[in-house]
Structure 1
Amino acid sequence: MQHEKKSKKLLDRIPHPLALLFFIVVGAAILTYIIPAGSYERETVDDTTQTVPGSFEYTESNPVGIMELFTAIPEGFQEMSDIVFVTFAAAMMFGLLERTGMLENTVGTFVRKVGVERRFLIVVIMTFVYGFFGIFIGLENNIALVPIAVLLSVAIGGDAMLGAGIAIGGVLVGFGLSPFNPYTVGVGHRIAEMELFSGWIFRSILVVTTLSVLSYFNVRYFKKILKDRDKSLGYDIDTSDMKLSKSIDSYHMRKRDIAMLLVFISGIIVMLVGIFTQGWYINEVAAIYLMIGIACGIIAKMNASQIAQVFSKALEPSALAAILIGVAMATQVVLNHGNISDTVAHGLTSLLEHLPTTLAAVFMAISQSIINILIPSGSGQAVVTLPIMIPVGDMLDITRQTTILAFQIGDGLTNLFSPTLAGLMAMLGLCRVPYGRWIRYIFPFVIIAICISFVALVISVLINWG
């Protein structure tokens, strides 16, 4: 009864994520009637299409009608079909690993080796592990690893929300503030004509500091729910198929578990090599997940029909995540149809010219946060806004390194709660965590992370970084 009252008071005010996203799409359509259409000229530099500073012009209005509003949703699915399928592939792979008992035995053995009494240390270690995954592997490439954190959390006495805080929080902080993020820092340095990933030490200090705060935040929540289970935000999330079925002391790795674990690790290594040396992206990652799942099914002595049945069953929980991904992308489709994305970017960056240097750097990050809701692609934002922001920063004596950091902070930290970010919706779906609960959990941390990042921005201006 207490949980029910708490849910009605605090959580049910936030609409279902599908309804929330639809309202955002409708809001974007309404904006096409209010905001004048406009665009920048584009040019191609080193195979990168980017805006030409000072070339903005208002164009003929093209407001989005009812039919375009609803066709934007299937168009969003088409645009994000690779993300949708990698979510399905991840669900199928982990569904099979869970069904065979390999995942449970691996997590149970890990907890037994480390010791349940060190569970707070496990939370800290795993938060940083997922953070480093985000730093070096990326966002979408880590979607498949999220359910492991939930299983681990439940095993040590936590809940699905703690697992989400470890995995989703860690990956998004690592990816968003990564000193080696190719989509934000990499593209930004290319546009700014700077040495690729220069300034990595300052950025590394920022991301490690923020991950440390996230680790403390996760441990604090864990202690709170251990003391009073009524304070759990995941009290009614069904994790019955993610619980360990026996006592920790009885877990050990069978030969086939070891074989499947080796296949899984080998597949991840091949994926990483392909990403860093062969330019692999989402389709290749999804293919690796499928191959791991099929290979592990064969090791478990399943026939083709049994593997297919497990895959089919595993797809059920990820269906909502897939729908959310497509609807999230529909917002950007609507803005593109209405031709107002450039107008928004132009309006926000124009304000910077009238601000003091330190405040302008902070406002760069704030304006980028607003743009990130509308254009959730980091590289997409980079080619739209940085060619405008960099000259403005030069005029205000803000170093290009600081301008890119402001862009990175605005893009990266908003990812933690942006409903239009397909990767976030996919990971929440795999964790079975409702969007409203996630906001309740993560938003206090986001405020702290933003404050830390703004301090870093001010320091970068004061020391003339870069």
Structure 2
Amino acid sequence: MVLQEKEKKEKRSFPHLFVILMSVIIIATVLTYIVPAGNYERIVDEATGQTIIDPLSFEYVEKTPVGPFAMLLSVQEGLIQAAPITFLVFMAFASLYLVQETGAVDASIALMVRKTKKNEKLSSITIAFIIYVLAAWGSTGTISYEQIIAFIPIFCTLAIALGYDPLVGLGMSFLPVGMGFASSTVNPFTIGVAQGIAELPLFSGIALRLIILAVMSTLTVVYVLWYANRVKKDPSKSIVAGIDFGELEIDEARLSTEFTTARKMTLLTLLLGVGIMAYGLSTQGWYINEVAAIFVAVSIVSGLINRWSPNKIAEVFVEGLSKGVLSALVVGVARGILVVISKGNILDTIIYSASSVLTNFGLYLSGIGMLIVQSLLNFLIPSGSGQAATSMPIMAPLADLIGMNRQISVLIFQFGDGFSNLIWPTSFILIACSLSKIPLNKYYKFVLPFLGIAFVFQILFIILAININYGPF
């Protein structure tokens, strides 16, 4: 009887992350036999240094279908291509695990719980404050999914300790970073690249984007607080009710962790490291490798502050690396999808076909259609700068053709590239779910209604931009 119940439970369980990704890779492989192969010529844009496509150079070529062995090889090649991000994930996980092992995180959460018990409204204010800060920060491009994912277990533990569930933890960490990224203000990796290709002044048109950031951030705060308060009043209404989150829960022993001077200094070191990352990313041209180096530095300094021996620092750091294995590998396996599509030469065909269809619609419908195309394209190219280099050489001239200001095409690009990151499994949602112990179907149940509302707002902002002829200044 017990065995039968176990088998039924296994049948009902949601597929493993790698099962989902391998299924998509198989589908992509099949498509290389069905979709005609085609190519655009790639050129180097002297103004931006980006390798972009020549929008007038598309031609159909001989099919290059991907065989079964090449499909399996794409996993390894995807891991190699995604190596910088993969190793950043390892470094971030190892560093934050070491900080947690010092007791600094438990002590800070315990302090926050004690404060909120004295004033219940403080928890809602804390959630709103965190969302606004992370959304604004995310809009600058100096914090993104690569950096925030390692902090997700901390936010989920905080949410549980405050009487909510891990979805609230995602709602105040992963979600606002995504909303900020999509409402980009001065993100050099998305807006910067896209405007450069569209031949627009760098970071021009920021006034409307600031309004969009404020609206979308507030929308996030309202939705997360609505759900959080609903769960706190009646835990049975939690989407993840009945799921064991033992690893994320903080017991009474941990809640009594003393906030010693060493632990305060450890948290200060972490915050200082994050501040240095933001400075380097925004002013020194830093990217993934430099951020990973800062995480290593935070680990060493934190260990020394707590008077750990070099051996202990190394041992705890290695334990932390093991915590990041699944998350790091998911990034590389997801990249294998793009490897298959590129080998089969069907990516350019998909882009060409989509852009050809859009010329048949009016201005407003074309704008909405461009948004849908960019959102779908983000499934295949989860890199913001990579998607800009691939799609903007086509979308900018297409905007000229249909009488749309190029600034609007950049706005549509940032919407399509940004918001869909919170949907597609080729982005970081699989990692976020694995870290928060939330099944993917439960995550979708939480986030899809919100993204549906956000999609309506995207369309309204596009219509507004068209009506005011949102331009380069």
TM over 0.5: yes
Matched residues in 1 for 2:211 and 2:64: separation? 45
1:445 shift after superposition:
0.7
SS at match of 1:238: coil
Dislocated runs of 4+, deviation >6 Å: none
Q: Which residue of 2 aligns with 1:238?
A: 245
1:251 shift after superposition:
6.7
After TM superposition, list the pairs within 5 Å mapping 1:110-121 onto structure 2. Answer: 110-113=112-115, 115-118=118-121, 119-121=123-125
Q: Which residue of 2 aligns with 1:459?
A: 464
- 2:168 pairs with 1:168: no
1:107 shift after superposition:
2.5
Contact 1:133 1:171 in 2 (8 A): yes
Matched residues in 1 for 2:69 and 2:422: separation? 32
Q: Which residue of 2 aligns with 1:327?
A: 333
Matched residues in 2 for 1:373 and 1:258: separation? 41
Matched residues in 2 for 1:181 and 1:214: separation? 20
Matched residues in 2 for 1:297 and 1:69: separation? 43
Amino acid in structure 1 at the alignment position of 2:120: E
Contact 1:160 1:239 in 2 (8 A): no
Amino acid in structure 2 at the alignment position of 1:394: D
Matched residues in 2 for 1:154 and 1:271: separation? 29
Matched residues in 1 for 2:55 and 2:16: separation? 40
**Cα deviation digits, residues 196-217 of structure 1 (max 9, x gap):** 1111111121122112111111
1:19 shift after superposition:
1.1
Moved more, 353-362 or 232-241: 232-241
Kindly tell me: are residues 444 and 12 of structure 1, through their superposed partners in 2, closer, same or farther at Cα, counting changes over 3 Å? farther
1:13 shift after superposition:
7.0
Amino acid in structure 2 at the alignment position of 1:123: I
Match of 2:136 among 126, 132, 135: 132
Match of 1:216 among 214, 222, 237: 222
Q: Which residue of 2 aligns with 1:66?
A: 68
Moved more, 28-37 or 277-286: 277-286
Contact 2:153 2:248 in 1 (8 A): no
**Cα deviation digits, residues 94-116 of structure 1 (max 9, x gap):** 21221111011123224444655
Matched residues in 2 for 1:87 and 1:268: separation? 15
Kindly tell me: are residues 279 and 81 of structure 1, through their superposed partners in 2, closer, same or farther at Cα, counting changes over 3 Å? same
Match of 2:205 among 193, 199, 221: 199
Matched residues in 2 for 1:319 and 1:432: separation? 15
After TM superposition, list the pairs within 5 Å mapping 1:27-426 onto structure 2. Answer: 27-45=27-45, 46=47, 47-113=49-115, 115-118=118-121, 119-136=123-140, 137-139=142-144, 140-235=146-241, 236-240=243-247, 242-243=249-250, 245=252, 253-421=259-427, 423-426=428-431
Amino acid in structure 1 at the alignment position of 2:38: G
Structure 2: stretches of 5+ with no match in the other structure: none
Q: Which residue of 1 aligns with 2:435?
A: 430
1:15 shift after superposition:
2.6
How many residues matched?
457
Matched residues in 2 for 1:177 and 1:36: separation? 35
Amino acid in structure 2 at the alignment position of 1:19: V
SS at match of 2:195: helix
Amino acid in structure 2 at the alignment position of 1:106: S
**Cα deviation digits, residues 148-180 of structure 1 (max 9, x gap):** 322321221112221011111011111122121
SS at match of 2:120: helix
Matched residues in 1 for 2:158 and 2:133: separation? 13
**Cα deviation digits, residues 315-358 of structure 1 (max 9, x gap):** 34432212221211110010111111111010101111110101
**Cα deviation digits, residues 48-81 of structure 1 (max 9, x gap):** 2111122100111100000110000011111111
1:138 shift after superposition:
3.2
Kindly tell me: are residues 233 and 86 of structure 1, through their superposed partners in 2, closer, same or farther at Cα, counting changes over 3 Å? farther
Structure 1: stretches of 5+ with no match in the other structure: none
Contact 2:156 2:170 in 1 (8 A): yes
Amino acid in structure 2 at the alignment position of 1:39: N
Kindly tell me: are residues 17 and 440 of structure 1, through their superposed partners in 2, closer, same or farther at Cα, counting changes over 3 Å? farther
RMSD of the alignment, in Å?
2.2
1:418 shift after superposition:
0.9
Matched residues in 2 for 1:284 and 1:100: separation? 24
SS at match of 1:280: coil
Q: Which residue of 2 aligns with 1:440?
A: 445
Moved more, 311-320 or 331-340: 311-320
Contact 2:269 2:301 in 1 (8 A): yes
- 2:16 pairs with 1:16: yes
* Percent of aligned positions that are identical: 34
1:426 shift after superposition:
3.4
Contact 1:37 1:58 in 2 (8 A): yes
**Cα deviation digits, residues 196-249 of structure 1 (max 9, x gap):** 11111111211221121111111111122222222323442434455153597x
Matched residues in 2 for 1:238 and 1:317: separation? 16
TM-score normalised according to structure 1 size:
0.93
1:252 shift after superposition:
5.7
